[in-house]
Amino acid sequence: MATTRAPHTQSTGSALDRYFQISSRGSSVGTELRAGVVTFFAMAYIIILNPLILSGADHTGATLGLNRVAAVTALAAGVMTLAFGIFARHPFGIATGLGINTLVGVTFVATEGLTWPEAMGLVVIDGVIIVLLAVTGFREAVFNAIPASLKAAISVGIGMFIAMIGLVDAGFVRRVPDAAHTTVPVQLGSAGSINAWPTFVFVVGLLICGVMVVKQVRGGLFLGIVLTTIIAIVVEAVTHAGSSADNPAGWNLAVPTVPDSLGGMPDLSLVGAVDLFGAFSRVGFLSAVMLIFTLVLANFFDAMGTFTGLGKQTGVIDKDGKLPNLRTSLVVEGAGAIVGGAVSSSSNTVYVDSAAGIADGARTGLANVVTGLLFLAAMFFTPLYSIVPIEAAAPVLVIVGALMMAQIKDIDFSDFSIALPAFLTIAVMPFTYSIANGIGVGFVTYVVMALFAGRGRTVHPLLYIVAALFLVYFAAEPVMNLVQ
């Protein structure tokens, strides 16, 4: 379960071993195969969740369709995860980015009045820009310009963010209803208690996974998901909790029951249903540019933060804080936005949930190959994969969050000019549900603190540029109101 590995040495095994550097990264084929399955089950909820987020109608009354979005979500995730594993050779799964899909569905379509093809056209353009920034080396330069303290803070913040996702998805942390008339935003369970069977299953699963880590059981997190799923199926058979759509105490997404059918042929009719330039005539050139700018900045730094956190967890980042194959990784990840927009699943990006597989031993792109193939298979067998409820995978996310907290020791909290940016980076990510927000607040604060501490010249020039861009990003809505 540890995130450290043996020093890099030249692999002398099979061609597969040499290509993915399996032995030299302290792993094995069996470990990679198993951990790839863990990553899939930690990410598979996106197949169910993304269609719900993109379910609204545009101003013409057109909808994307739940089954069609589920199919293209699995398709894009499978293709991009495979590509990342083969070319970048890291165990970082790729799928539709949460937050970006909400931005597309709520802001672009519901608020700005774009049609779905027009909105997805902007996602494709965003991807092209991201790829160009990666090919020219700009993304890599920004990544390398981030100081070590902020990189550590980003890793810890992502750990907190992952844990928050797990706690919320499992219903352990819930939003306080408006009817309560309180300024307190969240609470423990429902009305301050654990009175829902799915949340109880999550708690049991969390303890099981925790024991697996303590006992250093090989494949413990995978076993934890399997055991928790079995418990969930038994609990549902006895209690009939059902879906949270019908019962607030029900299962969040998938109800853990044996499906009536295994699946069927996927509907891929959304592939290519894109209008690249329609948004420019719909909302005007400047407004469209601002929408693209928002997408680019969110994509750019969400991915960069995730690379930092996952790279540290795998132990492949070198002493200078650099990730091997970084430029290739950034190019392939950027292509995820192009592919996601082209199939109408929204921008695809590297997933923090990949940390579940990494915690179970994944160190190479071979794990991604397994995850990618499972996503492609999910196009045909979505009902089968929906047996695993999010409450059974959420414990792994919380465990991973705890493991990633170890990076906090690399932050010098005795120097407040470092401590404040680091703290804000860590806190803002989970509290705003955004990696990019946490990075942006951290960057801006770091630059301001360095200037007033008399260390302005030690700050990399790119950080000043990025901090200025984030100021525009945070003021995106009033800026868009000005240009409209």
Cα distance between residue 360 and residue 47, in whole Å: 22
Cα distance between residue 208 and residue 87, in whole Å: 35
- Residue 362: the pLDDT is 94
Which tokens sit at 250?
A: 């029900």
Closest CA to 131 of 340, 434, 290: 340
Query: Residue type for 309, please?
Result: G
In 97-154, DSSP assigns E strands to: none
Cβ pair 60, 354 in contact under 8 A = no
SS3 15: helix
Cβ pair 359, 403 in contact under 8 A = yes
Closest CA to 446 of 459, 433, 435, 436: 459
Cα distance between residue 332 and residue 342, in whole Å: 15
Cα distance between residue 262 and residue 259, in whole Å: 7
pLDDT digits over 107-154, tens only?
Answer: 889 888 999 999 999 999 999 999 999 999 998 898 888 888 998 898
- DSSP conformational letter for 349: E
- What are the C-alpha distances in Å from 38 to residues 34, 358, 454? 7, 9, 47
Give the residue carrying structure tokens 């195969």: 33
Prediction pTM value: 0.77
Q: 310 CB contacts (<8 Å, ≥6 apart)?
A: 90, 91, 92, 350, 352, 354, 355, 358
- Strand (E) or helix (H) holding 455: none
Closest CA to 412 of 467, 449, 463: 449
Low-confidence ranges of the chain (pLDDT < 70): 1-13, 261, 319-321, 382-385, 479-480, 483-484
Cα distance between residue 92 and residue 333, in whole Å: 10
- DSSP conformational letter for 95: E
Q: Is 262 left (phi over 0), alpha (psi -120 to 50) or beta?
A: alpha
Taking each helix axis from N to C end, the angle separating 285-314 and 461-474, rounded to the nearest 10 degrees, works out to: 120
Give the residue carrying structure tokens 């700005």: 112
Closest CA to 40 of 66, 73, 77: 77
pLDDT digits over 362-414, tens only?
Answer: 999 999 999 999 999 999 886 666 788 889 888 988 998 898 888 899 899 99
Sign for the CA dihedral angle at 58, 61, 66, 70 comes to negative
- Strand (E) or helix (H) holding 414: none
- Residue 5: the pLDDT is 45
Q: Mark 133-146 as b/e (b = at least 16 C-beta within 10 Å).
A: bbeeeebbebbebb
- What are the C-alpha distances in Å from 291 to residues 119, 287, 437, 480? 10, 6, 17, 8
Cα distance between residue 203 and residue 194, in whole Å: 9
Burial group, residue 433, by CB count within 10 angstroms (0-12, 13-18, 19+): middle
Closest CA to 270 of 98, 111, 50: 50
Of the CA atoms within 13 Å of residue 320, those in its CB half-sphere come to 6
SS3 350: strand
- Residue 6: the pLDDT is 42
Which residues on neighbouring strands pair with residue 94, listed in sequence order? 350
Cα distance between residue 384 and residue 40, in whole Å: 13
Closest CA to 367 of 353, 388, 347: 353
Closest CA to 325 of 379, 360, 364: 364
